[in-house]
Amino acid sequence: MDPKLLRVAQSGSVNALYSLLQKDPCILQNVDVLPFIHTPLHEASSTGKIDLAMELMILKPSFAKKLNEDGLTPLHLAVENHQAELALELVKFDPSLVRIRGRGGMTPLHLVAKEGDVELLTEFILVCPESITDATLNGETALHIAVISDRYEELKVLRGWMQRMRKVDASTTEIQVLNKRDRKGNTALHLAAYNNNHQNKSGMTALDALRVNGPQMNTETESIIKTSGGKSGMSLSRVKTTSVFLSKPVTFREYCSTGMARYRSRMSDGTRNSLLVITALIITATYQTAAQPQDTDKFQKLSFEEIVLEIVLLWGFNSTAFFLAIALTFILLPIGRAYTWWYIFITAPLICSYAISVYLKYNITIFFVMYVMVAFGFLIYVLVFYVKWKRTTRKKVPKPRIELISQGLETMV
């Protein structure tokens, strides 16, 4: 790189850059001609010169994807030198920078997982979700690298992100990343099991550290800390950042909502509209059946078998179809709280009206039996989801498979 351009990059002065361009308009173009070079953007990124870096991104966007002689992009250097603010500005300008492979196939996401920065890691996967599938030349994903580097918090963020993804191929991506094997045939779960990693961060405040001494604690020092506003770790308010949210285990409610969102995302608009028409017809037909008047004389002449067939089973199945159509319509609704609350306000009176109509036709015993059947079916459905959720929270680590065949697509023991 031209010494004059290097001095401008080190100074971080935008005015100096344009003064140099006035004297030599082709100076940046001359740098861009070389395939591997330490550009002014590399220098500005490694030293945290944000204003100059953003100006260079506008003048020469190609600099952001160029590798220097060490096989690193400007974003790699920003992460390596802990210039988090500058790194965020670069990915805001071009999110695809997160996926650029450098030396050894290492992307900036891999480097963040190695160096450790949960907030920056969270921003990277938010702006470029596809980067979670990228692997190095050794077949290591960001999960592998986080485990190898003992980055427990980063690993929790990555795992939480995959469990909460709601795009079309979210389930496939999660399975693919978790089962991705490196050259030695180990998944990230294998490495985690071998290392037996555990969280090792106490998070103590000055007051907590003082109280660890027990009876030998200096009470005067404790009084000074309290007077100065010092608090214990338990009393401090926790700011729930995105990384903290992703680090927490997926709750049953989140699992159900994520499953519904993934179901919606896999469905085309035409299919959704067709299903909404079908559910509307089912709701109409089943409600009209409930609203029809009952012949009381006929009911008194029915035998026990006819009561079971005509009343319990008929109304049990009719009620099941009605409630399932209501539930499916809710699943098919567009995502948004406004849609959800309006749907609840509309369907709640409809459900109450249906239940009252059925109750007025028969005595309390038959009414109770019908709705016990419906409730039992619903509980079985919820139990299936609950078991699936528990299985996702208790992943078993499979035995490693060492010999890889068929270019890594299949494995054998």
* Residue 239, domain member (yes or no): no
* Residue 404, domain member (yes or no): no
In this predicted structure, the answer to whether residue 224 has a pLDDT above a threshold of 60 is no
- Report yes or no: 167 and 155 within 8 Å, Cβ to Cβ: no
Which tokens hold the place of 163?
Answer: 């469990």
**Together in a domain, 152 and 15:** yes
**In the prediction, which pLDDT does 7 show?**
87
- For 227, the enclosing helix (H) or strand (E) is helix 219-227
**Together in a domain, 190 and 263:** no
**Together in a domain, 182 and 301:** no
**Together in a domain, 13 and 156:** yes
- Report yes or no: 9 and 31 within 8 Å, Cβ to Cβ: no
What average pLDDT is seen over the chain? 76
d(CA 114, CA 16): 36
How many beta carbons lie within 10 A of that of residue 318, not counting itself? 19
* Residue 126, domain member (yes or no): yes
Instruction: Specify the range with the lowest mean pLDDT, choosing from 56-60, 250-254, 304-308.
Output: 304-308
How many helices (H) and strands (E) the chain has is answered by: 23, 2
* Residue 111, domain member (yes or no): yes
**Together in a domain, 163 and 48:** yes
* Residue 238, domain member (yes or no): no
DSSP 206: H
Phi and psi for 403 in degrees, rounded to 5? -80, 120
**Together in a domain, 48 and 189:** yes
**In the prediction, which pLDDT does 75 show?**
94
**Together in a domain, 26 and 165:** yes
User: Which of 145, 173, 195 is the C-terminal boundary of a domain?
Assistant: 195
* Residue 293, domain member (yes or no): yes
For 158-193, the pLDDT digits (tens) are 888 887 777 767 777 777 887 788 888 777 776 765
Per-residue pLDDT band at 77 (split at 50, 70, 90): very high
3-state secondary structure 299-349: HHHCCHHHHHHHHHHHHHHHHHHHHHHHHHHHHHCCCCHHHHHHHHHHHHH
Say which residue, 364 or 346, is predicted with more confidence. 346
Q: Return the residue matching tokens 């959720």.
A: 389
User: Which of 168, 195, 222 is the C-terminal boundary of a domain?
Assistant: 195
14-22 mean pLDDT:
89
**Together in a domain, 45 and 130:** yes
**In the prediction, which pLDDT does 109 show?**
93
Range of the domain at 163: 3-195
**Together in a domain, 191 and 261:** no
In this predicted structure, the answer to whether residue 411 has a pLDDT above a threshold of 50 is no
- Report yes or no: 197 and 186 within 8 Å, Cβ to Cβ: no
d(CA 76, CA 66): 11
* Residue 240, domain member (yes or no): no
Per-residue pLDDT band at 110 (split at 50, 70, 90): very high
Total domain count, the chain: 2
**Together in a domain, 22 and 116:** yes
**Together in a domain, 155 and 278:** no
Determine if the pTM surpasses 0.75.
Answer: no
**In the prediction, which pLDDT does 397 show?**
44
| Cα 246 to Cα 67, 117, 192, 333, 392, distances in angstroms | 32, 14, 19, 26, 15
Rounded to the nearest 10 degrees, what angle do helices 337-361 and 314-332 cross at?
170
Question: What CATH number does residue 49 fall under?
Answer: 1.25.40.20
For 248-288, the pLDDT digits (tens) are 677 777 777 777 777 777 777 788 888 888 888 998 888 88
* Residue 119, domain member (yes or no): yes
Number of Cα atoms under 13 Å in the Cβ half of residue 389: 18
d(CA 187, CA 184): 9
